[in-house]
Every structure is written in structure tokens, then in C-alpha cells.
Chain A
Amino acid sequence: NAGVTQTPKFQVLKTGQSMTLQCAQDMNHEYMSWYRQDPGMGLRLIHYSVGAGITDQGEVPNGYNVSRSTTEDFPLRLLSAAPSQTSVYFCASSEADTEAFFGQGTRLTVV
């Protein structure tokens, strides 16, 4: 049982480039979410999904897109990378009223 898998683990982008951060879970969880964590800070919610085909914005959604075509996958797209998006990104999944399982993170640097 792999849990929540994020790829890549590390990424360097140039300003203006686009990319997709991948997140997959094998627990058949209904809920999935993306967070970013800046140095010395707690996690902030970017987008979340309550099931395949259903997504909504979190606290800091600007500059990011998501889609959920399957239960297992919840990719996060950076449309035009900016230095302010340099951060560590975490994906999580859960069922209702249960604990969340987090991936190991993607460390993104935008230069």
C-alpha cells in the first residue's frame, strides 16, 4: 500500500514556465487536497476535491489549477510560474471524519 505518492520530489522552474505536480492515492479516498508550505509557516490550502469531477478553491488558489478526473489522481497545475510560488507542496487524501494522509512533498523553486 503506497498511500499518497507525489512526483516529482524536486523541481526547478524558470519564471513563466508551466508544469504539473502529480498526486496519486491508492486508498480509494473521496477527499483530496493540495497545500503549500512556505519556510517557517504552517500549511495553507490551495485547492481541494470532494470526489471525481468536483473541485473547489482553498485559501490561496491564484496561479494554480486542478482537475479530478479519477478518484486516484489529483494533479496541480502551475499556469505561469512565479518566484512567489517557490514553496513545498503537499497533497493529502482522506475520507469523511477520518485522518488525512499526506504525501512526502514536492520542493519547487522558481528562478
Chain B
Amino acid sequence: DAKTTQPPSMDCAEGRAANLPCNHSTISGNEYVYWYRQIHSQGPQYIIHGLKNNETNEMASLIITEDRKSSTLILPHATLRDTAVYYCTRIAGGTSYGKLTFGQGTILTVHP
């Protein structure tokens, strides 16, 4: 019973925006959406998170639909170094105790 659903793979041209979708149709009102990425089997790296408002930081933007059933991670100007597996996960505020549930993620390949 997947808590989030992501496409298995996506391609993007270097310099273009990469838009990675995530479906979380059963999300509860107190659950945040978190995005991580994993490069070359290194430890996962935090990217961004949000509850209901769109968020932006130095790495990416997160767009959450008004009904909160899906979200999109946007890498505005993808580089070759952004080639990685991207994981979307959901965490209940105040009760996660540091536990994360990862699906298989989206393999993003950035091409020259």
C-alpha cells in the first residue's frame, strides 16, 4: 500500500526545468510532504518540504495542489549533477519520530 506514487524514471535536458510529480492522494491534514534525493548510492539528501503552501529554497521549489493530493518538485535549471533518485515521502507532524517511508522514487537523468 504505497503512501506516495512517483513515475519510475524521467529525463531532462541540462539547463531546463525538471518537474518531478508525486501523488499522495490519501495524505492527512497534519502530514508534510518531504523530498529527498540520492546520488550514486550515497546517503539521501534533504531537498525541501511543505504542508500546504508552495515552498522555495536554494535547491528547488515545491508546488502542492490545493487539495494536497499531489505535489511537484521543480529543479529550475537542471545540471548533470542533479542526476539522482528523487524520493517523495509524507511525514505526520509531531509523530514521525524520525521515521521515513521511501518508495522506489524517480530516477532523474539529466542529459547534456
Interface size for B (C-beta < 8 A) is 24
Q: Does the CB pair B103–A97 fall under 8 Å?
A: no
Question: A97 with B43: in contact, given A32-B98, A45-B101, A50-B98 (CB under 8 Å)?
Answer: no
Q: Does the CB pair B42–A105 fall under 8 Å?
A: yes
Specify which of B32, B42, B103 lies most central, judged by the most chain A CB atoms within 10 Å of its CB. Answer: B42
Partner of A99, one of B41, B49, B102: B49
Q: Does the CB pair A90–B98 fall under 8 Å?
A: no
Residues of B within 8 A of A (CB): 32, 34, 36, 41-46, 49, 87, 91, 93-94, 96-105
Residues of A within 8 A of B (CB): 4, 29-33, 35, 37, 40-45, 48, 50, 56, 58, 88, 90, 92-94, 96-97, 99-105
